[in-house]
Amino acid sequence: GESVGLHLPTLSVQEGDNSIINCAYSNSASDYFIWYKQESGKGPQFIIDIRSNMDKRQGQRVTVLLNKTVKHLSLQIAATQPGDSAVYFCAENGRDKIIFGKGTRLHILP
Amino acid sequence: GAGVSQSPRYKVAKRGQDVALRCDPISGHVSLFWYQQALGQGPEFLTYFQNEAQLDKSGLPSDRFFAERPEGSVSTLKIQRTQQEDSAVYLCASSFHIAYEQYFGPGTRLTVT
């Protein structure tokens, strides 16, 4: 069945360094992916999305890379800041629902 | 402008009690979604409305779960005869249209004792 999962449950990064969060998906028919950030006590917040006809998309301090050959997504956060501490989910936008992976918790070290 | 709001933010229920969780979507948003998020997991889809029509309820875990959106705006998720496994955060999201970005509310944390 469909599944979107993550390689690592937690990631610790020094403040100011770049963070890379990885995600694997299993449905080769998936054509639209989203990264969400979820802070404690809040709902998921949209960060950036990418469609399957692209392999890279950049936002403000964030970049998403899509490798369809190996069914892999990554989220890169440049110059990680304390406010980036959160759980990050990759998700597939299905027909009428979002299918979330399990999440990676990002810890920022001072 | 105002985002998606949910109430109550926290609910403690004794096993066997019925609960009702409310979602106020962003004004003008046609699509409304409910998700269940267990501790340490990603949200899982429960059900989807387009206006007042419930077009997909494939994610509802049992017939104890019922959702409605009678006037195409506010939605209520009702859980009857709550069980411990129902303990989770229930998230509501809305979007202008099914194909557009979903905006999530803060969730209701339900604890069944």
- A-chain CB neighbours of B45 within 8 Å are 97-99
- Interchain pair B106, A102: CB under 8 A: no
Name the pLDDT band for A1 (thresholds 50, 70, 90). very low
- Interchain pair A97, B45: CB under 8 A: yes
CB-based contact (8 Å) between B106 and chain A? yes
- A-chain CB neighbours of B41 within 8 Å are 102-103
- Interchain pair B41, A103: CB under 8 A: yes
Q: In sequence order, what are the residues at sequence separation of 6 or more whose Cβ sits closer than 8 angstroms to the Cβ of residue B77?
A: B20, B21, B23, B34, B46, B47, B65, B66, B67, B90, B92
Tell me the pLDDT tens digit for each residue of B22-52.
999 999 999 999 999 998 899 999 999 999 9
Q: Domain coordinates of chain A in residue numbers?
A: 4-109
- The CATH fold of domain B5-108: Immunoglobulin-like (2.60.40)
Residue A37's pLDDT is what? 97
CA distance B57 to chain A (A): 11
- A-chain CB neighbours of B93 within 8 Å are 43, 98
Contact A42, A56 (CB under 8 A): no
Contact B35, B48 (CB under 8 A): no
How many angstroms separate the CA atoms of A92 and A35, rounded? 9
Q: Domain coordinates of chain B in residue numbers?
A: 5-108
- Interchain pair B43, A41: CB under 8 A: no
Tell me what the mean pLDDT of segment A79-87 comes to: 96
Q: What is the DSSP letter of A84?
A: G
Contact B35, B102 (CB under 8 A): no
Shortest CA distance to A88 belongs to which of A16, A2, A6, A33? A6
Please state which architecture CATH assigns to domain A4-109: Sandwich (2.60)
At residue A95, does pLDDT exceed 80?
A: no
Contact A45, A36 (CB under 8 A): yes
CB-based contact (8 Å) between B97 and chain A? no
Tell me the pLDDT tens digit for each residue of B69-111.
999 999 999 999 999 999 999 999 999 987 788 999 999 999 9
- B-chain CB neighbours of A97 within 8 Å are 33, 45, 48, 56, 59
Name the pLDDT band for A2 (thresholds 50, 70, 90). very low
Sign for the CA dihedral angle at B69, B70, B74, B78 comes to negative
Cross-strand bridge partners of residue B90: B36, B108
Could you tell me if residue A96 is left (phi over 0), alpha (psi between -120 and 50 degrees) or otherwise beta?
alpha
